[in-house]
Structure 1
Amino acid sequence: MSSDADPALGTSSGLGPNPGLDADVVVLGASFAGIEVLYQLQRRASSPPPRVIVVDRERRHGYLPLVQERLLGTIDARSSTLESAAWIDSVEGARFVQGEIVGLDVARGEVTLEGGTTVRGRVIVVALGSVLEPPPALPGAARMIGYKSGAQFEQARAAVQDLLEGDAEERRIVVVGGGISGVELAGELAALRTATPPRFRHAPEVTLIGVEPALVPILGEKVGARAHAILVAQGVDVRTGTRLEATHEGGVSVREHRPGGDESLEIAAGLVMWAGGVRPSPVLTELGLPRTEDGWLAVGPTLQCYPTDPARAGVFACGDAVRIIGGTGRWPTMQRAIECIWQAKVVAKNVLALLAPRSADAPEPPPLHPHRLRK
């Protein structure tokens, strides 16, 4: 590392001292996937564990699987915030480094941070996640509120509070996205009507817009029908087969598919919340790693960024940021937290296999474990 950064950590088992490396493993991202990778490395490693540096721009992270509940006060946002940096620093052989990632030199295993600090490791694990934002080309995209993490989460929480505590004439909240996240958010918003004690001065009317004919299509027809029925029973205005065309002051313009032909409608709203899918984190464009045509990191079943190149075997990626390419093509993904856990286990096994001492006649790299597609 450069002199203004954290000092290099201790010596790893099996590697021996290497003054050119700051750590055996550098993990980029300290949210769900990155933390799970560190946990799995510690759990599976012999003693002493590998030296690990985890890099992130944030020292704390909200618990993502409960983001809707945290947003609306169903659970306290502060008590469900993970002290990521403090936990990492408490782990044997691990160190947290705060900084904005601006570049990666794969050949040197070197990560560059804003301001010029560099961090070098034998193995790099990219766990930089995704961003919950609408496509920029969608008219009025800037008017929609995302709520995933960090400053975006705080802005969304303030916007909801302003709407439901103030005197706005229109208190309808339109949720865009009929997948798992949109259904969860619409349900939590609708539950504000019956919350005891009330969490806000007013409760919103809720409209859920989904472009598919049914809700949560990834979970199957029966689950989608059940989710639809529950939301309607809560008083949610559910509109499937409906495409958002624009967001504007005072509401949204949609196009609704009907048996007799599509119909354009205007829906008044005091707030429009985006739950219609995530996009690749912008930092992925700065790393120079293989990507899919829509911008995600392309990895093989072993979760390596270069699965057929022994010289670059030690570059892995997992979590929201990746799409697995193998067999007949691109694997499906739920983009849920459980996939981060499954993938982190595979990454940890493979990282430890690369770091383990081997005889001179052993294959290089060693055989690695593939991720398994769960249906």
Structure 2
Amino acid sequence: MTDTGATKPPRILIVGGGYVGLYTAMRLGKKLRGQEATVTVVDPRSYMTYLPFLPEAAGGNVADRNLVAPLRPALNRAEVVTGHVVAVDHSRRTATVMPPAGDGYELGFDYLVVATGSVSRTFPIPGLAEHAIGLKTVEEAISLRNHVLWQLDKADSTTDPEIRRKALTFVFVGGGFAGVEAVGEVEDMARDAAKNYRNISRDDMRFVLVEAAHRILPEMGPDLGVWTKEKLEERGVEVYLNTSMKSCTDRCVVLKNGVETPASTIVWTAGVKPSPVLSAFGLPLGPRGHIDTAATLQVQGMNHVWSAGDNAQVPDLAVGEGAWCPPNAQHACRQATVLADNVIARLRGRPQKEYRHKNLGAVASIGLHKGVAIMFGKFRLKGRSAWWFHRLYHGAMMPTMNRKLRVFLDWTLATFLRRETVGLPEMARPRDAFVEAAHPESVLQLADRSS
């Protein structure tokens, strides 16, 4: 009798390497036995971004490399593939992968976890796509930091009042966690940076926060939302509620309440939506484009597919019938644990468990030594104590010990050293210097025009 070789273990394919993808793969790596299954993670980026630190990165309190967790070192028991999954064939159990180079190919799977996450939710506002910047990636956060500091350089170098006014006006649209934390951190950074300039003071700057609802930080409750608004206004931030941005053509921001101002910096943090690639995955979607899942995180009507996080519509059993889990890191990390255990249970023919998690609270930083927090729905913190709690909580939640230590080291050094306020706007165009060296006539032409 000829030995045909051992049967290949089933493949668990995880599409996405964010919160759900990373934590699910880590859990599977710990719980699977030997060659019980192969875990493959596909993501266009080779790292997971810890999103709550993006505002701090924009403010210069966390280094960009320290708020990302590289997938390959963190998932040494899994296969990590860099590329986009652009289609899924459930009848054949294959996914089409487009790598950064070369032709696309099919990757077979036995079990599928969809964790593509979310993207910025935008609207057809004139000028928005051309002039605004989001805050969903580490690249956007660092670009925002460099851009803001470059606006200070620009304003300091000219006496033209219109140029200065435009450069020193910063508009943030969206009063949720991302928008409030971003305006707080960036205002803090700009205030510190202004001390290094002879011709700029904080009084020359204008910070605007726009929110369509009647309050900011709705997850915190009305009292902490009001307190946060008051503290931002004490720092000179203009907060407009019950309004939205009408247009920002040519970097001229027009609000629906009639306020109009030129602004070189427009930050868009007005919510998120599921990744649009889901439409090619052949999955049942809810009214807002989320994957429709059961409380077990298994996709409705599909016994080989699971989903969780921002791209999923997960019943919130702790709240009650008809409620859905909000798209935040707290739920995503805990859903990933249950999801991984349920995939293993399906693999071993055991019953799956339902996801149930009572909200532990929420924390938000609004600048150095300033924050708000609510714990277990009862205890509320404001100011420095909330800021410390914010740092301890998110520092502990940062994946991998390597990144935890680096983040806490950043914070420790910042305790004894002044904030670093050097901007590197040229990073967005790294080849400019080389091109100028190769074509010196372009530099001479610029000098002629300025003389």
Decide whether the 8 Å contact of 1:192 with 1:199 is kept in 2. no
The answer to whether the aligner puts 1:128 opposite 2:87 as a matched pair is no
Q: Distance in 1 between matches of 2:192 and 2:143?
A: 23
Q: Distance in 1 between matches of 2:358 and 2:128?
A: 34
Selected match of 1:162 from 141, 144, 150:
150
CA 1:130–1:199: 2 relative to 1, 3 Å:
farther
> Which segment is superposed worse, 224-233 or 44-53?
44-53
SS in 1 for 2:64: coil
Selected match of 2:313 from 320, 323, 343:
323
- 1:1-375 maps to which residues of 2 (within 5 A)? 18-19=7-8, 23-47=10-34, 50-88=37-75, 90=76, 92=77, 94-114=78-98, 115-135=103-123, 137-142=124-129, 143-149=131-137, 151-153=139-141, 155-167=143-155, 168-169=163-164, 170=166, 171-195=168-192, 204-256=205-257, 264-306=258-300, 309=301, 312-325=302-315, 330-356=322-348, 358=349, 366-372=350-356, 374=358
CA 1:190–1:272: 2 relative to 1, 3 Å:
same
Report the CA distance between 1:152 and its aligned residue. Answer: 4.3
CA 1:18–1:230: 2 relative to 1, 3 Å:
farther
Gapped regions of structure 1 (runs ≥ 5): 1-15, 257-263, 359-365
Report the CA distance between 1:150 and its aligned residue. Answer: 5.7
Partner of 2:365: none
Higher helix share: 2
| CA distances 1:286-341 after superposition (whole Å, capped 9, x unpaired) | 111111122122212111112xx3xx312011111111258886533432211111
Q: Distance in 2 between matches of 1:200 and 1:176?
A: 28
Amino acid at match of 2:208: T
CA 1:195–1:61: 2 relative to 1, 3 Å:
farther
Amino acid at match of 1:343: Q
Q: Distance in 1 between matches of 2:153 and 2:65?
A: 20
| CA distances 1:268-296 after superposition (whole Å, capped 9, x unpaired) | 32211001101221211111111112212
| CA distances 1:4-49 after superposition (whole Å, capped 9, x unpaired) | xxxxxxxxxxxx9544x7x531111112221011122234444566
Alignment RMSD: 2.7
Report the CA distance between 1:175 and its aligned residue. Answer: 0.5
Q: TM-score, normalised by structure 2?
A: 0.68
> Which segment is superposed worse, 41-50 or 114-123?
41-50
Gapped regions of structure 2 (runs ≥ 5): 156-162, 360-451
Q: TM-score, normalised by structure 1?
A: 0.81
SS in 2 for 1:347: helix
Report the CA distance between 1:345 and its aligned residue. Answer: 1.3
SS in 2 for 1:73: coil
| CA distances 1:219-258 after superposition (whole Å, capped 9, x unpaired) | 21122112212212222111111222222223321123xx
Amino acid at match of 1:148: K
Question: Rg bigger for which structure?
Answer: 2
Report the CA distance between 1:127 and its aligned residue. Answer: 0.7
Identical counterparts, % of pairs:
27
Amino acid at match of 1:24: R
| Number of equivalent positions | 335
Amino acid at match of 1:107: S
Report the CA distance between 1:80 and its aligned residue. Answer: 2.7
Decide whether the 8 Å contact of 1:133 with 1:146 is kept in 2. no
> Which segment is superposed worse, 107-116 or 336-345?
107-116
SS in 1 for 2:116: coil
CA 1:17–1:283: 2 relative to 1, 3 Å:
farther
CA 1:197–1:241: 2 relative to 1, 3 Å:
closer
Decide whether the 8 Å contact of 2:316 with 2:324 is kept in 1. no
